[in-house]
C-alpha cells in the first residue's frame, strides 16, 4: 500500500473516473475483472459510484444521461490545491476548461479540461475525498500516460500548469518524457506520431495492476470486452491494451515482482 500523501502531491495523478451508459453492467464487468466492490458517491453530476478494493477507494464510475453521447473513456485526474487557480492556468497556457470548477458535494472540487492537443484530463481539489488510497496491488491504478503525436510542445503546457520536471528520452525513434514531482516519477508523455489512433486522438491512458496480464486479457474477452493489443513485454513489465464492453480503453500491467 502506498501512503496517500505520496499519491496526492499537487500535479500528481490522484484519481481515475469513467462515465458510461450502463452503470450496473459496467460495475459487473470491473467487479469481476478486478474484484472491485462499489458504494454510492456524490451524485451532483448524475448517478455515481466509487470502486473499492479491500475497503479502499480506487476509482469512480458514473452514468451519462440517456440523451448524452460522449466518448466513453477513463479520465485521469491530477491533484490541485486550488482548482480555480489551476483552471485559470490551464486557460492561460492554451488549454480548454470544459466543466467547472464546481463542487462535488463535500468530496472536493473538480475541473474537466483538455490540453492544447485535445487530450482530456481532470483536476481534483480534495476535501473529504482524497482520491485513490490504495496502490501497488492487483486492481489498482498503477500508472498514467499521455499518448500524443509528439511531446515537446505539450510538455511545456503540463510543466507550466502543474510544475512538472521532465526526463526526456532523446532518440530518433522514441519520443518519451517522464513527468516528475519532488524527484518522483508520477506520469509520462509518449509521442507516438502517426501510430496515434485516428478515432481517439491524443488521450490519457490508465494502467491497472494485475497479477497475471495474460489471464486478465483473457478475462476481459470472457466478460464482453476486447483485447486491442495482446500481452507483450514493455520496459520490464507485461502489458496488454484492452477495452471494456462500452469501449473504454485501458492497459493492464503485471509488474516485475
| Per-residue pLDDT tens digits for 221-252 | 999 999 999 999 988 899 999 999 999 999 99
Q: Is the pLDDT of residue 90 over 80?
A: yes
Cell of 14: 490522484
| Per-residue pLDDT tens digits for 3-62 | 444 447 999 999 999 999 999 999 999 999 999 999 998 777 689 999 999 999 999 999
- The predicted structure's pLDDT at residue 182: 92
Contact 95, 120 (CB under 8 A): no
DSSP state letter for 130? -
| Per-residue pLDDT tens digits for 131-142 | 999 988 999 999
Query: 87 has which bridge partners?
Result: none
DSSP string over 184-252: EEEEEEEE-GGGS-TTT-SEEEEEEE-S-HHHHHHHHHHTT-EEEEEEEEETTEEEEEEE-TT--EEEE
Residue among 187, 122, 198, 111 at smallest CA distance from 151? 187
Cβ-count burial 214-242 (b if 16+ within 10 Å, e if not): eebbebbeeeebebeeebeeeeebbbbbb
- Distance between CA 151 and CA 168 in Å, rounded? 9
Q: What is the mean pLDDT of the chain?
A: 92
pTM: 0.94
Amino acid at each position: 500500500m502506498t501512503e496517500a500523501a505520496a499519491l496526492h502531491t499537487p500535479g500528481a495523478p490522484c484519481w481515475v473516473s469513467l462515465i458510461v451508459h450502463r452503470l450496473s453492467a459496467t460495475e459487473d464487468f470491473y467487479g469481476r475483472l478486478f474484484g472491485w466492490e462499489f458504494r454510492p458517491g456524490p451524485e451532483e453530476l448524475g448517478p455515481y459510484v466509487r470502486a473499492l478494493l479491500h475497503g479502499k477507494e480506487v476509482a469512480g464510475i458514473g452514468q451519462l444521461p440517456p440523451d448524452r453521447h460522449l466518448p466513453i473513456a477513463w479520465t485521469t485526474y491530477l491533484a490541485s490545491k486550488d482548482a480555480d487557480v489551476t483552471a485559470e492556468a490551464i486557460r492561460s497556457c492554451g488549454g480548454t476548461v470544459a466543466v467547472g470548477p464546481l463542487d462535488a458535494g463535500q468530496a472536493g472540487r473538480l475541473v474537466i479540461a483538455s490540453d492544447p492537443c485535445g487530450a482530456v484530463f481532470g483536476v481534483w481539489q480534495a476535501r473529504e475525498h482524497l482520491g485513490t488510497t490504495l496502490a501497488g496491488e492487483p486492481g489498482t491504478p498503477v500508472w498514467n500516460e499521455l499518448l500524443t503525436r509528439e511531446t515537446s510542445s505539450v510538455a511545456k503546457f503540463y510543466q507550466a500548469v502543474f510544475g512538472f520536471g521532465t526526463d526526456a528520452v532523446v532518440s530518433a525513434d522514441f519520443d518519451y518524457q517522464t513527468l516528475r514531482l519532488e524527484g518522483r516519477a508520477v506520469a509520462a508523455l509518449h509521442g507516438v506520431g502517426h501510430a496515434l489512433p485516428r478515432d481517439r486522438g491524443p488521450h490519457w491512458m490508465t494502467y491497472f495492476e494485475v497479477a497475471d496480464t495474460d489471464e486478465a486479457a483473457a478475462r476481459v474477452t470472457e466478460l464482453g470486452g476486447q483485447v486491442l493489443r495482446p500481452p507483450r513485454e514493455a520496459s520490464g513489465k507485461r502489458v496488454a491494451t484492452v477495452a471494456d464492453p462500452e469501449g473504454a480503453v485501458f492497459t493492464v500491467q503485471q509488474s516485475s515482482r
